[in-house]
């Protein structure tokens, strides 16, 4: 079968940065599904790995995918051949940028019936990240009241997090950060109650719309200069912060004065360590599929490329690598 990946860490203007090769058809483990991949999306993790991770010969990238089950492993109970699915994959297995992919059924959800493969492929990784952060870590629920700050709200995670919080924790006020007219418009359209500029003095900008501070912060930008100091300043005592990025240094001692809690969200943790509750991701994706089919949540795709080939994937990588993507970028086969 054909797969797309890389053999060396090269810039995108080099045609060899992503190439197609013939590779062996995946062998299935007992809980695996073999999926005919119809659409994928590109996430920051794809860009980071292409730029820095060792290829070990030839590395197939891709996490988000939507497709059709064509074969099942001996222990599969959740799906059958012909089922349409969507999922975010695992770090330690070949990626979704291939004709066929083997993926554990316990991290796979049924594709929303109302969405195309392309629109569905935009969602799994960011949905799982947002859901785990909001409801597993911060434990927000329909009775929750307070203010949530989403730093970088126009990105893939922020775009679905706004919607999930609105639906499942309607008493929470959402402040999103965005810095361009088009991103401000997008975040507002998705349901943010207020939007502030994350350029300049973030603390001053947030406190202008939330003078008493915020209860919860979600961030993908804790590595920015002054970010943690700003989070401490705008947090209420006993507030909670959830981060998904990789800061080189983190001043956790500065959190003590307000008894703040710092959490990490990493949606690959369950699949990477085969945690006892790995099937939770199957349930999350199915729950969100219902919300999508009910029209209470919408896909976050904003740009689509076709077909799934090295050239179109390079264009998608280019947009994500720029740091200016709004929502999600998808590559699909017609």
DSSP codes, 67-120: EEEEEE-TT--S--TT-EEEE---TTS--SSBSEEEEEGGGEEEPPTTS-HHHH
Phi, psi of 110 (to 5 degrees): -70, 135
* Local confidence band at 72 (pLDDT 50, 70, 90 cut-offs): very high
Q: Which CATH architecture has domain 2-123+299-332?
A: Alpha-Beta Complex (3.90)
Tell me what pLDDT residue 1 has: 97
**pLDDT tens digits for range 133-190:** 999 999 999 999 999 999 999 999 999 999 999 999 999 999 999 999 999 999 999 9
CATH of domain 126-264: 3.40.50.720
DSSP codes, 272-327: HHT-TTTTHHHHHHHHHHHHHHTTSS---EEEEE-SSSHHHHHHHHHHHHTT---S
What is the pTM for the complete model shown? 0.97
**pLDDT tens digits for range 226-254:** 999 999 999 999 999 999 998 888 889 99
Please, which residues bridge with residue 303 across strands?
A: 329
> Cβ(282)–Cβ(107) under 8 Å?
yes
- Which residues have a Cβ under 8 Å from the Cβ of 202 and sit 6 or more positions away? 151, 177, 196, 226, 227, 230, 234
DSSP letter assigned to residue 257: G
Domain boundaries, the chain: 2-123+299-332, 126-264
**pLDDT tens digits for range 25-59:** 999 999 999 999 999 999 999 999 999 999 999 99
């Amino acid at each position: 079968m054909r797969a797309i990946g890389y053999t060396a860490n090269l810039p995108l203007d080099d045609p060899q940065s992503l190439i197609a090769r013939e590779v062996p058809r995946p062998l299935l483990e007992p809980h695996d599904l073999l999926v005919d991949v119809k659409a994928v999306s590109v996430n920051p993790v794809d860009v980071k790995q292409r730029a820095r991770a060792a290829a070990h010969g030839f590395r197939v990238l891709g996490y988000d995918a939507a497709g059709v089950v064509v074969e099942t492993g001996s222990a599969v109970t959740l799906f059958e051949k012909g089922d349409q699915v969507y999922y975010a994959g695992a770090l330690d297995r070949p990626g979704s940028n291939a004709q066929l992919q083997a993926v554990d059924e316990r991290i796979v959800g049924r594709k929303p019936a109302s969405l195309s493969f392309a629109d569905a492929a935009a969602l799994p990784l960011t949905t799982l990240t947002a859901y785990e952060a909001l409801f597993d870590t911060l434990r927000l629920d329909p009775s929750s009241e307070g203010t949530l700050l989403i730093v970088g709200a126009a990105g893939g995670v922020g775009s679905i997090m706004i919607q999930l919080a609105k639906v499942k924790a309607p008493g929470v006020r959402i402040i999103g950060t965005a810095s361009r007219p088009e991103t401000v418009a997008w975040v507002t359209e998705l349901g943010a109650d207020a939007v502030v500029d994350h350029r300049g003095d973030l603390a001053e900008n947030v406190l202008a719309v939330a003078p008493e501070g915020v209860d919860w912060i979600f961030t993908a930008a804790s590595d920015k200069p002054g970010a943690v100091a700003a989070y401490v300043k705008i947090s209420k005592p006993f507030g909670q912060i959830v981060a998904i990025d990789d800061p080189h240094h983190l001043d956790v001692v500065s959190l003590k004065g307000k008894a703040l809690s710092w959490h990490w969200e990493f949606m690959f943790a369950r699949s990477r360590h085969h945690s006892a509750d790995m099937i939770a991701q199957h349930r999350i994706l199915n729950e969100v599929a219902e919300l999508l089919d009910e029209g209470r949540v919408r896909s976050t795709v904003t740009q689509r490329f076709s077909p799934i080939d090295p050239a179109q994937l390079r264009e998608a990588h280019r947009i994500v690598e720029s740091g200016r993507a709004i929502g999600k970028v998808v590559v699909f086969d017609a």
